[in-house]
């Protein structure tokens, strides 16, 4: 419930690039309603609208908007009839936003011009400030805007640097892990498969032993395929299938059930998935979740048993449960990293969903909750 409210509220939050312009609109409206008399003059209306336009354009065209803003401020201060304090507040935001873009030389030069033009005495033919206290206070105010923008710029650069360092570290670790897997696990599995197949061809073996060796060989081949998929993933970029269109949830379900049937399982469906809109990023997560869950079923479910899928639409979420029978044989826990299910739960939480695994002595039940767009 709280997650749905949060997603609904986030839809009404404008992008960060619009915040400076929206701030200008708020200041303009507040100034008009608090003191409407000055806005009866066309020059004040023009100056206010032009300043708000500069705030909107600053994120996309910072240098052009900056030059226009400095020229506009000079124009405003050269007309004594224009006297709206809110305009000065807007220009302080202009300075801060431009400084946050990293153009520090242009920011300092333009800020000096704004500081000098803001004194207003040059319009009366006095080119040297007569009130140095006022000039110092004004200099402090515009300097604070420059400092605030510069701090924001440095913070953004630091975050970008940390992201780059993180990407480099992840890439190095991926390459190291891939080499270790190839040199150890992949080579060992290949040798194991060859030895099992050679043993199964011996003529003096009992039929039950021969079947067990063949089953072990197939299990090793499945593990080998998983290792190869992992090596392929580790050798590519962080988003190896970013350009691949995400299958719909119905197509993913059809692919999953087809995979299970190819391994001898019987699939039983209860209910149906409604035709709803799910975000592409969420569909890509579901692809990984379905793939991992179906792999676990193939590895641990009773062969030729029934896998039951059931669906229920709650109005804003799809609730799905997958139930299968577990093999009676004891599984060696040392062969599993234990990271599969926690990783899947984290992926589902990242898209606002949920994954719960319920186990008993003879049954494994996976419950998923997936949100979708109701618009």
Residue pLDDT, tens place only, 201-248:
888 888 888 888 888 877 777 777 777 766 666 666 544 444 456 678
What pLDDT, on the 0 to 100 scale, is given for residue 337? 39
pLDDT at 374 over 60: no
Chain centroid, CA 79 distance in Å: 48
Give me the pLDDT at residue 333, please.
43
Q: pLDDT tens digits, residue range 280-323?
A: 878 888 888 888 888 888 888 888 899 999 988 877 788 899 99
Find, among 98, 96, 101, 81, the residue nearest to 38 by Cα: 81
Q: What is the mean pLDDT of residues 133-150?
A: 91
- Res 7: pLDDT: 55
Q: Where does the pLDDT of residue 267 fall: very low under 50, low under 70, confident under 90, or very high at 90 and above? A: very high
Q: What is the pLDDT of residue 65?
A: 92
**How far apart are alpha carbons 302 and 363 in whole angstroms?**
10
The most confident of 108-122, 182-196, 274-288, 324-338, by mean pLDDT: 108-122
∠ CA(194), CA(199), CA(204), 5° rounding? 160
pLDDT at 259 over 70: yes
pLDDT at 26 over 60: yes
Residues above pLDDT 70, as percent of the chain:
81
Q: Say what the pLDDT of residue 287 is.
A: 84
Model pTM above 0.85 = no
Q: Average pLDDT of 339-366? A: 81
In the predicted model, is pLDDT for residue 144 greater than 80? yes
The percent of residues above 90 in pLDDT, for the chain, comes to: 17
Q: Residues 312, 351: contact at Cβ < 8 Å?
A: no
DSSP state of 330: P
250, 253, 254, 258: CA torsion to nearest 10: 180
Rg of the chain over all Cα atoms, to the nearest angstrom: 33
Q: If 0-12 CB within 10 Å is exposed, 13-18 middle and 19+ buried, where does residue 90 land?
A: buried
Relative orientation angle of helices 104-119 and 132-180, to the nearest 10 degrees: 160
CATH topology of domain 249-371: Heat Shock Protein 90 (3.30.565)
How many helices, marked H, and strands, marked E, lie in the chain? Answer: 12, 5
Q: State how beta strands 354-359 and 266-270 pair.
A: unpaired
3-state class (DSSP) for residue 352:
coil
Residue 99 class from Cβ within 10 Å (0-12 exposed, 13-18 middle, 19+ buried)? buried
Place of tokens 């506009």: 72
Report the 10 Å Cβ neighbour count for 10.
Answer: 8
Q: In the predicted model, what is the mean pLDDT of residues 270-274?
A: 78
Q: Which residue(s) pair with 373 in the sheet?
A: 277
Fill in the DSSP letter of residue 18.
G
Q: What is the distance of C-alpha 348 from the center of its chain?
A: 13
pLDDT higher at 352 or 124: 352
pLDDT of 370 over the 80 cut:
yes
At 66-83, the pLDDT tens digits run: 999 999 888 887 765 555
Note whether 328 and 339 are within 8 A (CB): no
Ordered by start, the domain boundaries in the chain are 13-130, 170-234, 249-371
Partners of residue 366 on adjacent β-strands: 322, 357
**pLDDT, position 373:** 67
Q: What's the rounded Cα separation, in Å, for the pair 301 and 324?
A: 6
């Amino acid at each position: 419930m709280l997650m749905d409210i949060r997603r609904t509220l986030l839809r009404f939050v404008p992008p960060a690039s619009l915040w400076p312009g929206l701030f200008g609109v708020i200041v303009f409206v507040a100034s008009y309603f608090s003191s409407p008399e000055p806005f009866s003059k066309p020059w004040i209306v023009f100056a206010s609208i032009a300043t708000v336009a500069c705030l909107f354009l600053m994120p996309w065209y910072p240098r052009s908007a900056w030059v226009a803003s400095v020229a506009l401020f000079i124009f405003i201060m050269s007309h004594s009839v224009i006297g709206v304090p809110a305009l000065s507040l807007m220009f302080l935001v202009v300075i801060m936003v431009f400084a946050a873009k990293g153009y520090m030389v242009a920011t300092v030069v333009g800020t000096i011009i704004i500081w000098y033009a803001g004194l207003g005495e040059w319009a009366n033919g006095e080119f040297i400030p007569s009130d140095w206290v006022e000039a110092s206070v004004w200099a402090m105010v515009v300097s604070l805007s420059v400092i605030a923008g510069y701090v924001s710029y440095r913070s953004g650069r630091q975050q970008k640097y940390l992201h780059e360092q993180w990407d480099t570290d992840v890439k190095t670790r991926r390459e190291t892990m891939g080499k270790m897997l190839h040199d150890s696990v992949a080579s060992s599995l290949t040798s194991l498969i060859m030895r099992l197949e050679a043993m199964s061809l011996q003529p003096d073996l009992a039929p039950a032993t021969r079947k067990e060796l063949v089953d072990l060989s197939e299990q090793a081949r499945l593990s080998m395929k998983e290792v190869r998929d992992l090596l392929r993933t580790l050798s590519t970029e962080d988003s190896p299938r970013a350009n691949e269109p995400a299958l719909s949830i119905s197509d993913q379900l059809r692919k999953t059930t087809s995979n299970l049937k190819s391994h001898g399982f019987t699939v039983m469906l209860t209910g149906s998935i409604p035709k709803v809109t799910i975000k592409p990023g969420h569909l890509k997560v579901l692809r990984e979740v379905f793939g991992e869950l179906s792999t676990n079923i193939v590895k641990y479910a009773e062969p030729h048993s029934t896998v039951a899928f059931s669906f229920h639409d709650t109005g804003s979420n799809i609730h799905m449960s997958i139930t299968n029978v577990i093999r009676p044989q004891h599984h060696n826990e040392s062969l599993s990293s234990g990271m599969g299910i926690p990783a899947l739960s984290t992926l589902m939480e990242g898209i606002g969903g949920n994954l719960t695994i319920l186990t008993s002595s003879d049954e494994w039940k996976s419950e998923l909750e997936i949100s979708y767009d109701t618009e």
